Structure 1
Amino acid sequence: MLQQYKHILVPVDGSYEAELAFKKAVAVAKRNDADLHLVHVVDTRAFQNFSSLDTSMVEQVTETAKKTLDKYVADAKADGLDKIDYAIEYGAPKTIIGDVPLGNDTDLIMIGATGLNAVGRLFIGSVTEYVTRTAVCDVIVVRTDLDNQPAKAAHRAE
């Protein structure tokens, strides 16, 4: 019997790789008649040194994330996927993304190979690496575009 996924989680951060993961997840969700849950984590650790600006900066980042997520939802619905929602969470991305599957019956995480935070990868390791190592469900690391071309080569061609 083939594995059929029902609850797919896609962490998105605005990066090209996250967008590829989203696009592939839409296709997988449609094939499996699954629901798709997007999550964006506002890394509040980045705001710790700006105590007087905390609230307005976090609100601005949240508003940008909401616009991006609304666009993803509209794109998925235009592509025929009805069962899609999203959440904006606050904290350390590794911890949040690692905890989401436990409360959402997630059976698949589709995540981009890299994200926006190169400095964070250097010092604390990548979110993708952490998720693949600690997830309680299957994880697909998306490295290619919809034509299965390497993501970096496709991105440079644009």
Structure 2
Amino acid sequence: MEQTYKKILVGVDGSEQAMEAFRKAVEVARRNEGEVIVTNVIEQQMTTALTVAPLGNEYIEEQMAHGNEILERCRLYAESVNFSKITKDLTFGQAKSVLAIELPKKHNIDLIMVGQSGLNRVEAMMVGSVASYVIRKAPCDVLVVTPTEKQEETEK
């Protein structure tokens, strides 16, 4: 059975791990004549708590501007490698559920690509790993992208 991926979702937060996942998602989409939906999720819990604070709206606007800047960098990268099938998505919510549940349903996603976290074991246990949640809850295939530097370390 041949598997092709036509709708690929990748979450970006500005980290190098996420950007590497995005770059690889573009190549997977190109090979499969598919589309990349790239999203930046603004954590809803933070924005809900801050909207009642005096500077809350200013913070939300900063987060939206930052998210749009990250998405625009993705668009520019895709353009630089002659890939045009990209949809930018700025979303409010909890990153785990947005990536694993909401956007896969909304866009009929058949592959989610996530960057491997830079967290150490204690941080991952305390914060929880978005990647591990997505792997457990996603309705489609999930590909965790290992940073190139880790691949090179393993080869030595």
TM-score range, shorter chain: 0.7 to 0.9
Change (3 A) 1:72 1:34: same
Unaligned stretches of 5+ residues in structure 2: none
Equivalent residue in structure 2 for 1:106, among 97, 106, 109: 109
Aligned to 2:33: 33
1:119 and 1:53 mapped to 2: Cα distance? Answer: 32
- Counterpart CA distance in 1 for 2:57 and 2:36 is 30
Quick one: distance in 1 between partners of 2:152 and 2:64?
27
| Percent identity for Structure 1 against Structure 2 | 34
Alpha-carbon RMSD across the aligned residues, in angstroms, is 2.2
Check if 1:83 corresponds to 2:85: yes
Distance 1:91-1:151 versus aligned 2 partners, 3 A rule: farther
| Distance in 1, Cα, partners of 2:79 & 2:126 | 38
Write the deviation string for residues 58-79 of structure 1: whole angstroms up to 9, x where unpaired.
1101101101111111111220
Q: Which residue of 2 aligns with 1:17?
A: 17
Number of equivalent positions: 149
TM norm structure 2: 0.86
Q: Unaligned stretches of 5+ in structure 1?
A: 154-158
* Structure 1 residue runs of 4 or more that deviate by more than 2 Å after TM superposition: 118-124
The offset of 1:123, in angstroms, is 2.7
Alpha-carbon separation, structure 2, partners of 1:35 and 1:18: 17
TM-score (structure 1 length as normaliser): 0.85
Q: In structure 2, give the amino acid aligned to 1:87.
A: D
Contact 2:115–2:147 (CA<8 Å) still a contact in 1? no
